[in-house]
Amino acid sequence: MKLPTRGEHVYETYWLPLQDSLSNDELEQLMWLQLVLDGDDRVRRQDLYAAQQQRFERRGAASRTAIEGEIEGYIRELYRRGALFRRILHPEEEPDDSVRAPLHRLHTWQAQGTYPALMLLLDRRERGDLDSADTARAMSYIESFLVRRMMCRVPTNNLNRIFQAVPGQLPFDMPVADGLHQLLSAENRFRPDDDELREKIHKAPFYQYGRWHQRKMVLQRLEESYGHQPPLRAQTGSAPGQSPGDEPPHRRHRPLGREGDPRPGRRTRRSRHRAVARPAARSRTCGAEPGLATGPPGAGHAAPRHLDVLR
């Protein structure tokens, strides 16, 4: 028994509420995240319990009182960070609107690999190292990193390793958000630059890569950048306010056909011109976005219409 005198207090005050707020798998993940945040950037989830045991065995011949105090401190810190972890799992519990929005988008993206970086940001905010505005800005860099890599077809097999290393590699000589931007922009992080991104927007088959919910989120963010809040309509050629089912049968599911022409794929010169102009419009939008600039973040980028998702 590691807590002979404080066991009941620690259980009732910290451990029981923690068990009630997280599932067994989530609690195990939180314990792994705590190891990562405390500096063990190579520990694997399957090695969690061995790593925990080694952590407490390092105390060696310390007194029983000292060991008991250390274990209580560990569980108390786990309890504190559990509340932060719940905000990542359930973004609606985040009280600040500016932070809740990127948390919700990353949750929609299903970006579990980013948890070490997100936990670090929420933890540093709670400690007073950055405010909510900078927390949201740092999260937008994470979001941008994922979107750029998805659109440029960068393999995802090293994402977990990249984000697990963030707590131990974040620079200390600059603000947290700027340090994260610099870290994720390093050459060995494989973050596509602006030219590569623009080329992919022009030429790559967008609908053949990434998961459907990720593509949907990118399109929604593009729509929002033009000040359009309603959801994107399905690309069926329907007029505003008209559902595809209201169209005549010969026009359903023929978005590229000439109006009144039942043959699919027949396009007028005007429709072909629009198809060519559409990627150029996307490129202009990207070019006006401050986060796409190659200079340091926040260095005089003016953009009345911007996409946080591509910073």
Q: Distance (Å, rounded) from C-alpha 69 to C-alpha 6?
A: 9
Asked whether the predicted pLDDT for residue 240 surpasses 90, the reply is: no
* 223: confidence class by pLDDT, cuts 50, 70, 90: confident
Q: What is the pLDDT of residues 156-215, one digit of tens each?
A: 778 889 999 999 889 888 999 999 999 998 888 878 777 888 888 888 788 877 788 888
- Please answer whether residues 29 and 18 qualify as being in contact, where contact means their C-beta atoms are separated by less than 8 angstroms: no
* 262: confidence class by pLDDT, cuts 50, 70, 90: very low
Asked whether the predicted pLDDT for residue 254 surpasses 50, the reply is: no
Q: What is the pLDDT of residues 26-42, one digit of tens each?
A: 999 999 999 999 877 77
Torsion of CA 271, 272, 276, 279, to 10 degrees: 40
Torsion of CA 49, 52, 56, 58, to 10 degrees: 100
pTM of the complete model: 0.71
Q: What is the pLDDT of residues 101-134, one digit of tens each?
A: 999 999 999 989 999 999 999 999 999 999 999 9
Q: Is 67 exposed, middle or buried (0-12, 13-18, 19+ CB in 10 A)?
A: middle
* 21: confidence class by pLDDT, cuts 50, 70, 90: very high
Q: Count of CB atoms within 10 A of residue 143's CB?
A: 23
